[in-house]
Amino acid sequence: QVRLAESEGGLVQLGGSLSLSCAASGGTFSNTAMAWFRQTPGKDREFVASISWYGDVKYYADFVKGRFIISRDNAKNTLYLHMNILKPEDTAVYYCAASSRLLQPSFVPDYWGQGTQVTVSS
């Protein structure tokens, strides 16, 4: 059983940057692909980015390509999302997710974090 805990989000100005982390615990955390999703009230949860166990394969939603970077440090059991050139549209609750399956473009989570609020002001 993998448990995920996101770091505290925050309030950022348009064009600013913010990094999120997700600490995994309570499981083997082996051969686990991970991802970030986000959700705004009234909208479906949407995929943001994903990364393979070794970090050699990454996928990004079109709306974050060139702005966000997903990374991980397996020695620390931690996933990261570095967000740059933030826009008001990026305002959402961001969720960390993990999958026991080999990373594919379509990410189906087996575990979720509780989410963390990111707000971008203009």
pLDDT of 48 strictly over 80: yes
Residue-wise pLDDT for 62-100, tens only, equals: 999 999 999 999 999 999 999 999 999 999 999 999 998
- Residue 91 is predicted with a pLDDT of 98
- Residue 31 is predicted with a pLDDT of 59
- Residue 22 is predicted with a pLDDT of 96
pLDDT of 120 strictly over 70: yes
- Residue 5 is predicted with a pLDDT of 95
Q: What is the DSSP string of 22-85?
A: EEEESS---S-EEEEEEE-TTS--EEEEEE-TTS--EEE-GGGTTTEEEEEEGGGTEEEEEE-S
Whole-Å CA distances, 9 to 55, 92, 94, 101 = 23, 10, 8, 28
pLDDT of 8 strictly over 80: yes
Average pLDDT of the segment spanning 27-36: 78
- Which tokens in the block code for residue 115? 């989410």
- Residue 1 is predicted with a pLDDT of 79
pLDDT of 52 strictly over 80: yes
**3-class SS of residue 113:** coil
Candidates 19, 111, 15; CA nearest to 71 is 19
Residues 6 or more apart from 70 whose CB is under 8 A from it?
35, 36, 48, 49, 50, 51, 58, 60, 79, 80, 81, 82
